[in-house]
Structure 1
Amino acid sequence: MITSRRAFLKTTALSSASLVIGFDGGRLLQATFANSVGSFKPNGWVCINSDGNVILTIGKCEMGQGVRTSLAMILAEELEADWTRIKLVQAKPSADSDLGTGGSDSMASSWKPLRQAGAAAREMLITAAATRWKVDRGSCKAVDGAIEHSGSGRRLEYGSLVAEAAKVPLPENPPLKNASDFKIIGRRTARIDGPDIVSGKARYGIDIKVPGMLFASLERPPFSGAKVQNLQEDTARAVSGVRSLIKLPRGIAVLANSTWAAIKGRAALAVEWSEPPKDAFDSDAHWKKLETASRQTGFVTRKEEPPPETNAITKTIDATYYYPFYAHAPVETMNCVADVRETRCTIWAPTQAPERLQKQVAQLLGIAPGDVDVNITLIGGGFGRRLGVDYAVEAADISRAAKAPIQLLWSRADDMKQGHFQAASVHYLSAGFDAQGAPLAWKHTKAGSFHNISPLDPKEMRDAAWYQDWSWGCYDVPYAFPAIQTAYVAIDLPVRHGPWRSVFAPSSVFARECFIDEVAQVRGTDPLAFRLEMLKGADVIKAGSTTVDRRRLRRVLETVRDKSGWNGTSISEGRGRGVACNAYAGRTYIAYVVDLSVDQENNVQVERVVAAVDCGLVVNPVGVEQQMEGGIIWGLSSALKGEITFEGGKAQQSSFADFAVARMRDTPAIEVHIIDSDAPQPFGMGEPPVPPIVPAIANAIFSATGTRIRRLPFRPE
């Protein structure tokens, strides 16, 4: 967070008459212009200036999810602010701040602090107005950025009251509005930053330019451990605009007067790398290792024994599901501007993890984290990739060597080949039935790798809760089998891998929701009706650290059943219908019905997706719908399009030509039905839409073709 008085005043436009309230978790903090704000270190703050503008400084980064709009709506609701006067500022990290954005946690974690901050400011302004008018504060109320007096009709704008309000003691427990009184929360609202984005005024990382800046492109080792065997620099230096070449541990940097010159200079490098070792990482060998591991006992993350009176198992079915490596492939590739000086460094980066970036750059340079000034820009797609900060560390290293500010831009090939990939996994599932065909037992073992930002995984055993966190969608199976066992087998992965949109859940939910269809088939039951049948019993269940509310899951399933006109999986020849659902971390509940067609060449066209979502209290329905649509298309890509494969330690894909993503022509008609939830707060929407769409598509393909999809991505044979 901004720690200097000068930076604080500059960022918030704080005047001699401003009311400032900071929030940090459950605490509220107060500062005014006259106070010393050098130690004022909240994770966000509200500043009301004498001109009436309300400045909300937030730590959560914007990467297309619309979080700025939703957080501003929460504040405006409790503050009773004029929506047109709300302005947003991106906070900066400090050594003790917590500004990371990920895990679909922004709404849940910001809900209470923002409401408290808005309510506190509102109450202080009411007190200030009542004091000026010399009336009972109970006769005053806040309305649309002003305080009104019910007895006389007098009205004072917030800006005219901030000097007096700043002297009012901060209320410890300001009253919060009842949901029935909300006027802004729940209203369909366009993005607050939309005009700046479409007009080009908004600045992404790739837009940053500073005086004296050079442009860099970095030739990296093609696989871990590769060494330069031979390098001819003359061809690169001869490219017009190339200024210099710098050899670094991370590769060979080409610096130039423009991005294009740097790219051309790098392409002209005559570099010969060492050959990969015979045991270099290979996808085919890794699949075999994962498949073998999936048959092991592993670390049991959940075990429920059947009641003594349970019938004996007389029939068992099993299946193995394969989930591949994926790249993030954001539209804006990794980039960073770094300006390293003797004792300080300034960074401009589209990052989801500003504190991690600050600490790692400081460690590289041998300076204190507080001497690394991190400016968070808008992000052209994060999806978890920007929780890694390797690109920023590279930029700082190049700037230090060049003794100049530089902008490092990754190419699309860099992004595909050098990313933090979604780790592949194999899932072995089995189910047991009694003589009457009743399902009695469920077993699901996941063999995979942890989604680490660091290159390698920990080898030591941990406790059950730790392994559960790596197998969402596996251990928290919501269905009421008398006997349940889930397990995780950790396989070390010597290529970089990390969080990918919806993190640990996509592979497990793909396997679980496809296999529950297989169980329904053995049972001879409609798969949607079977899910509802298996969600009976206790309404709320505890699976490790996750609480699953079966009522909410039943509600979204019943909604897609009714809205889609579900009458079974069969539609007509060559067309199919599939269903899937999930409770994401026990917070956001989603169900899909997918209609698709498969032609004679086995080309799949997803035609219609009917979705139901219960994400708790809805702040902005527009944002929920957009996240659902984006998640559906993201999942469609992983179901039907590209994957990353490795040979000789190298990722084999380098562009959208060989790592395909869904395009506009692939986009189905999407209907989103938002449940009027009884949950008292909002939950995240960035990740939850992804996991259940893939199995819904796979189940629909089975409906159309009679072929089970157990390996992704599905491609015509």
Structure 2
Amino acid sequence: MKTLMRPCQMSCVAVGLTSVSAQLFIARQGRFEMATKDRIIQLTRRDFLKLAGTAGAGLAFSVYLDACAPVADPPEIAPVIPTDSRPTPIPSFMWEPNIYLKIDHQGILTVIAFRSEMGQGIRTAIAMLIADELDLEWSSVRMEQAPADGRYGDQVTGGSQSIRTQYGTLRKAGATARQMLVNAAAQTWAVSADQCETKAGQVIHPDGKQKLPYGQLVEAAAEMDIPGDVKLKDNASLHLVGTKIGHWDAPEIVTGKAVYGLDVRLPDMLFAVIARCPVFGGRYSSYDDSETLTIPGVRQVVALPTSIAVVGDNSWAVIQGRNALKVIWDEGRQASLSSEDLLSQATDNLPRPGSAGDDSIDAVYTMPYEAHATMEPMNSTAYVNDEVCEVWAPTQNPQEVQRMISRMVGISRKNITVHVPLLGGGFGRRLQADYAVEAAQVSQAIQAPVQVLWTRDDDMHHDYYHEMSVHYARGSLSAIRMPRIQTRGGSGVPTGAWRSVGEFSQAYPTQCFIDEIAVAAQRDPLDVRLELYQDRAVGVIKLAAEKADWGGPLPDGWGRGMGYHATFGVTYVAQVAEVSVDVSGKVRVHRVVCAVDCGKVVNPDAVTAQMEGGIAFGLTAALKAEATFENGRAQQNNFHDYPILQMSEMPVVEVYIMESEERPTGIGEMGVPPIAPAVANAVFNATGKRVRHIPIRPEDLV
């Protein structure tokens, strides 16, 4: 029997307040009405804000996804947790030895994730480090997301630095808690703490027979002095770190229960979209909203400093309302901006190819602007009321959200709470706070909770793009050394961090030109790299070449190429790409062999996943997408004209991790820089044609 599928619609989510403080508040107030399958809870919006502030990050969300539900089966809204009428048991004691963790009477460890989760597995890694030092089993771990909180210092999730900078701190947090539990048990038994051991959430008596579970020790541990210095486990004693543990959020993600920014729902929440000037830096001169206000579901139109918000009951109404809005724009100074002109200007400011002199070669490489194109477009939910602001922002930088809202809305930072749901991709775009500021501005104007939505077109048109760059490379053939590269960029286009930032722009011309030097000198590109690099770099280059069977036979029309880069100078990655080019010039990447040295590995699965994801991200830039501008306007609108790599185009990726006892380094961005030059070099190996720009198009090869 055929099942008719209705058009995909936006997911929705009910906010279930399930922290202890939240439930106590509900019991006291009983005024906000939230209908569920089993019961009705009542609470005013003002009380909800107080409650959410009290609950902090202890908000649980239950999600119903109606994207493609069969028409024959009407959706059933998931009930607010808990699903029965009995109150959730209140833990009689919760021990919080530091800001990174807490343990209850059942011995359950709750890890506080103070960095943003956008698929890279940082929450999993944080929990592994703490639980391992605590000698707890993974089944005893729970997770809580921290809001913006200065106690954690810088909460920026970017630069692939979370584990690199927090590795020792997190291990010490777990080790400190373990030592305090041991001290509590030793005091109970009247034995020396040095003679006690821990295993699987228990302290073991020196006789090896008596055991005390952590849950029975938390109250006594809370009375212990915090030890000034604790001994971390030696690497041989680690039982979680270095093992393959699945992504903490994966079960919720694959079942549609994970809560992203777009899933947030508040009581009486409205929706808004923003009409922004299509030209960078422009603003509205005037507008006519008479037709907009006739659209069913549109509540009001709000003028912001440079843009206009359409507010209403649902996303469809406000998008249609914005379409009906008549705006006269002051396009400002960038109205004639063109990416083609910017490229020409940058090229004109560099030496011309052929000017390198005798016994040298030179070349010019060009790289376009790139959009982030996250799967989840920008969005944020905010409620500003009585000089208090509460924000649900899928952000990589919650403290920047606090700072910018405080500056733009005029509310003290201490009265701004920033909750961080899961991010549907970040890639550096969500280091900016513009979308969260918009939500706060609209909420302040309408005095109601509101979710500001960005369509895919909004996301493409108002990005902070990866900067365009032109590179002049020069090198000697008589004495092989690293190429000398001069670089020029553009101006007038908003730019920002993009996965691997300038490392991507550095790796492409460098690694392509090393191949050009090798070919001109009639040498193997692998041998030239082994001559140019040392130490850990040589290790990954050799490993990638060995596993890829460098120099081995390939089918006709195929080619093999290498790229290497040490992103931020800390993580060493070499990649070998195998490609074919058909008669129409279409490039197909069949296989990528990747070798990585990132120091001590916390979770091998996460390393592999990030290498695979980085390669996919880099292949989009290498072969498919670019952002262009004309008359100050972005020319791409959606995935039909900004295509990203599809699952059917993904090559087989083999990841080999170098064993190391060095401190962990970053992994989230490191798979991106080597892949574009590896592919470009492989294309030359297959065709004899050198393409010195990305993306590589079929017309470049016919």
Q: TM-score, normalised by structure 2?
A: 0.84
Which structure 2 residues correspond to residues 46-125 of structure 1 after superposition, within 5 A?
Answer: 46-94=101-149, 97-125=153-181
Amino acid at match of 1:133: W
Structure 2 partner of 1:558: 542
2:662 is equivalent to residue 607 of structure 1: no
CA drift at 1:139: 3.0
Structure 2 partner of 1:146: 202
- For 1:496 and 1:513, locate their aligned partners in 2 and report how far apart those are by CA, in whole Å: 28
Match of 2:551 among 563, 567, 580: 567
Contact 1:358–1:374, Cα closer than 8 Å, also in 2: yes
CA drift at 1:241: 1.0
Amino acid at match of 2:548: S
Match of 1:271 among 327, 330, 333: 327
Match of 2:625 among 642, 655, 676: 642
Structure 1 partner of 2:559: 576
CA drift at 1:695: 0.3
Residues 275/112 of structure 1: CA separation in 2 closer, same or farther (3 Å cut): closer
Deviations 1:185-230 (A, max 9, x none): 1111111222222233321110111111110011110103445466
Contact 1:446–1:508, Cα closer than 8 Å, also in 2: no
Residues 631/607 of structure 1: CA separation in 2 closer, same or farther (3 Å cut): same
Deviations 1:62-82 (A, max 9, x none): 000011111111111111012
Deviations 1:297-344 (A, max 9, x none): xxxxxxxxxxxxxxx995111001101000000000000001111311
- For 1:678 and 1:585, locate their aligned partners in 2 and report how far apart those are by CA, in whole Å: 19
Contact 2:133–2:174, Cα closer than 8 Å, also in 1: yes
Contact 1:421–1:500, Cα closer than 8 Å, also in 2: yes
2:390 is equivalent to residue 359 of structure 1: no
CA drift at 1:5: 13
Amino acid at match of 1:113: T
Deviations 1:259-283 (A, max 9, x none): 1111121122233435676862111
- For 2:482 and 2:657, locate their aligned partners in 1 and report how far apart those are by CA, in whole Å: 33
2:303 is equivalent to residue 247 of structure 1: yes
- For 2:585 and 2:696, locate their aligned partners in 1 and report how far apart those are by CA, in whole Å: 10
Which structure 2 residues correspond to residues 371-390 of structure 1 after superposition, within 5 A?
Answer: 371-390=415-434
Which structure 2 residues correspond to residues 233-244 of structure 1 after superposition, within 5 A?
Answer: 233-244=289-300
* Structure 2 unaligned regions, length at least 5: 1-20, 22-49, 59-88
Corresponding residue SS for 1:439: coil
Contact 2:284–2:329, Cα closer than 8 Å, also in 1: yes
Deviations 1:503-530 (A, max 9, x none): 1111110000000000111111111121
Amino acid at match of 1:444: I
Amino acid at match of 2:692: R
Contact 1:217–1:409, Cα closer than 8 Å, also in 2: yes
Contact 2:616–2:650, Cα closer than 8 Å, also in 1: yes
Corresponding residue SS for 2:675: helix
Corresponding residue SS for 1:504: helix
Contact 2:428–2:498, Cα closer than 8 Å, also in 1: yes
Structure 2 partner of 1:631: 614
- For 1:687 and 1:244, locate their aligned partners in 2 and report how far apart those are by CA, in whole Å: 42
Match of 1:701 among 683, 688, 693: 683
RMSD between aligned residues: 2.3
Structure 2 partner of 1:529: 527
What count of residue pairs does the alignment treat as equivalent?
Answer: 617
CA drift at 1:690: 0.2
Amino acid at match of 2:510: R
Contact 1:94–1:370, Cα closer than 8 Å, also in 2: no
Structure 2 partner of 1:478: none
Residues 6/210 of structure 1: CA separation in 2 closer, same or farther (3 Å cut): closer
Match of 2:483 among 429, 442, 447: 442
Contact 1:281–1:648, Cα closer than 8 Å, also in 2: yes
CA drift at 1:169: 1.4
Residues 110/645 of structure 1: CA separation in 2 closer, same or farther (3 Å cut): same
Structure 2 partner of 1:621: 604
- For 1:155 and 1:400, locate their aligned partners in 2 and report how far apart those are by CA, in whole Å: 56
- For 2:660 and 2:135, locate their aligned partners in 1 and report how far apart those are by CA, in whole Å: 24
Structure 2 partner of 1:177: 233
Contact 1:246–1:253, Cα closer than 8 Å, also in 2: yes
Residues 229/134 of structure 1: CA separation in 2 closer, same or farther (3 Å cut): closer
- For 1:227 and 1:139, locate their aligned partners in 2 and report how far apart those are by CA, in whole Å: 71
Match of 1:685 among 659, 662, 667: 667
Contact 1:590–1:692, Cα closer than 8 Å, also in 2: yes
- For 1:655 and 1:389, locate their aligned partners in 2 and report how far apart those are by CA, in whole Å: 22
Corresponding residue SS for 1:111: helix
Identity between Structure 1 and Structure 2 (%): 40
2:382 is equivalent to residue 338 of structure 1: yes
Residues 211/441 of structure 1: CA separation in 2 closer, same or farther (3 Å cut): closer
- For 1:665 and 1:152, locate their aligned partners in 2 and report how far apart those are by CA, in whole Å: 56
- For 2:572 and 2:435, locate their aligned partners in 1 and report how far apart those are by CA, in whole Å: 35
Structure 2 partner of 1:460: none
- For 1:276 and 1:82, locate their aligned partners in 2 and report how far apart those are by CA, in whole Å: 60
Deviations 1:666-713 (A, max 9, x none): 10011111111241x211111111000110001001111111121111
Corresponding residue SS for 1:234: coil
Match of 1:409 among 443, 453, 457: 453
Structure 2 partner of 1:197: 253
Which structure 2 residues correspond to residues 213-612 of structure 1 after superposition, within 5 A?
Answer: 213-228=269-284, 231-274=287-330, 280-295=336-351, 314-434=358-478, 438-439=479-480, 442-448=483-489, 493-535=491-533, 550-567=534-551, 571-612=554-595
CA drift at 1:622: 0.5
Contact 1:280–1:649, Cα closer than 8 Å, also in 2: yes
- For 1:714 and 1:648, locate their aligned partners in 2 and report how far apart those are by CA, in whole Å: 25
Corresponding residue SS for 2:566: strand
Residues 55/278 of structure 1: CA separation in 2 closer, same or farther (3 Å cut): closer
- For 1:700 and 1:693, locate their aligned partners in 2 and report how far apart those are by CA, in whole Å: 10
- For 1:383 and 1:175, locate their aligned partners in 2 and report how far apart those are by CA, in whole Å: 36
For structure 1, which segment, 374-383 or 264-273, has the greater mean C-alpha deviation from structure 2 after superposition?
Answer: 264-273
Corresponding residue SS for 1:47: strand
Contact 1:236–1:269, Cα closer than 8 Å, also in 2: yes
CA drift at 1:601: 0.6
Amino acid at match of 2:539: R
Residues 184/200 of structure 1: CA separation in 2 closer, same or farther (3 Å cut): same
Corresponding residue SS for 2:158: coil
Residues 278/673 of structure 1: CA separation in 2 closer, same or farther (3 Å cut): closer
Contact 1:250–1:394, Cα closer than 8 Å, also in 2: no
* Structure 1 unaligned regions, length at least 5: 23-43, 297-311, 449-490, 536-549
Amino acid at match of 2:260: Y
- For 1:140 and 1:81, locate their aligned partners in 2 and report how far apart those are by CA, in whole Å: 16
Structure 2 partner of 1:163: 219
For structure 1, which segment, 191-200 or 650-659, has the greater mean C-alpha deviation from structure 2 after superposition?
Answer: 191-200
- For 2:333 and 2:145, locate their aligned partners in 1 and report how far apart those are by CA, in whole Å: 46
2:278 is equivalent to residue 207 of structure 1: no
Structure 1 partner of 2:654: 671
Residues 15/293 of structure 1: CA separation in 2 closer, same or farther (3 Å cut): farther
Contact 2:53–2:417, Cα closer than 8 Å, also in 1: no
Corresponding residue SS for 1:173: coil
2:186 is equivalent to residue 135 of structure 1: no
Amino acid at match of 2:162: S
Residues 343/498 of structure 1: CA separation in 2 closer, same or farther (3 Å cut): same
